[in-house]
Amino acid sequence: MCRSDSGGGEFSVVSGAIHENWVDTSSTTGYDIAILTRDAPVKDAGPPPTLYAGNEERGRLLTFLGYGSRGIAGLLGSGDSGGSAWLKIDGRWVLAGVNSNGTANAEAGETSWFVRISGKRGWILEHVPTARFTD
């Protein structure tokens, strides 16, 4: 059972898919991604996000969202794994990455690793055929 921060209710995860190339080491952060299915749809968060399908993330400004205990402005901290990285493309926000790992100190000069959504398009569509990607 998990608690929803937005609505205050509880939900259960009924199924999940972990990427088949993921191994429990920091050397496989490019595959540290999972898809979880809840027991009920999310009703209070608007439409599902559009996922980034391009290949121009490098050098772009990303906006991170997380809920860790030590994150600061511009850095994710301990507990933020699974947090999102967003790009603004043509005036709209698209999901570009999922936080996988990091140096966990959340201080200037530290590093966070993200799984690129664009590189997992086929795998995501295999598990969520209705997922929406940018052109």
**Residue ranges covered by each domain of the chain:** 2-133
Residues 6+ apart with CB under 8 A from 120: 19, 33
The answer to whether residues 14 and 38 touch, using CB atoms and an 8 Å cutoff, is yes
pLDDT, tens digit (0-9, with 9 covering 90-100), for 87-110? 998 899 999 988 887 776 667 777
Which of 100, 2, 115, 96 is CA-nearest to residue 49? Answer: 96
Candidates 110, 66, 108, 106; CA nearest to 86 is 66
Which pTM value belongs to this model? 0.77
pLDDT averaged per 10 residues in sequence order, the chain, 135 residues: 57 89 70 86 83 88 71 59 85 89 70 85 94 89
Cα–Cα distances in angstroms (integers) from residue 97 to residues 2, 38, 44, 85, in the given order: 23, 21, 22, 5
- pLDDT reported for residue 1: 47
